[in-house]
Amino acid sequence: MLIAANKAVSIDYTLTNDAGEVIDSSEGGAPLVYLHGAGNIIGGLEKALLGKQVGDELDVAVEPEDAYGEYSAELVATLNRSMFEGVDELEVGMQFHASGPDGGMQIVTVRELDGDDVIVDGNHPLAGQRLHFKVKVVDVRDASEEEVAHGHVHGEGGHHH
């Protein structure tokens, strides 16, 4: 069975950056299970997997525009510490939900603390980076009607309701 839209796909993968440092991996754990065509994984990897089948192994380099986008300086802002009312200890690396420029929710990460100034970054941590995936297709099956309707895989390795 070939990978196509509305197939439940299981992959083993290792994700590295340009320097070869491992960012994420399924090694030692369960494979990643996703619904193909539903935007569950980054676009560049999904495109590369289209038409593959169980047993196929591939190395994929995904450019930023097909991954988490280019880094945008516009998503970095300086806020006053008073905006974090109820948070006793602010630390670099903390993440918060915030309203994005388009009115939608986004996650911001505290990048720097300078007195009462809190510099936050709304970019994804991997924005602007070329990503390298080493992937092996472990399983491909037809997704259930419910999985297609929900836009994700259910059960082992997938979403649990």
Encode pLDDT of 113-134 as tens digits: 999 999 999 999 999 999 999 9
Report pLDDT digits (tens) over 69-127: 999 999 999 999 999 988 989 999 999 998 776 778 889 999 999 999 999 999 999 99
Q: Angle at Cα 158 formed by Cα 5 and Cα 29, nearest 5°?
A: 115
Structurally, the chain folds into a number of domains equal to: 2
pLDDT of residue 114: 95
Whether residue 95 sits in one domain with residue 142: no
Predicted TM-score (pTM) of this structure:
0.82
Distances (CA, A) of 82 to 79, 115, 153: 8, 11, 41
pLDDT of residue 155: 75
Whether residue 133 sits in one domain with residue 61: yes
Whether residue 90 sits in one domain with residue 53: no
pLDDT of residue 158: 58
Whether residue 96 sits in one domain with residue 110: yes
Report pLDDT digits (tens) over 35-58: 999 999 999 999 999 999 999 999
Domain that holds residue 100: 73-121
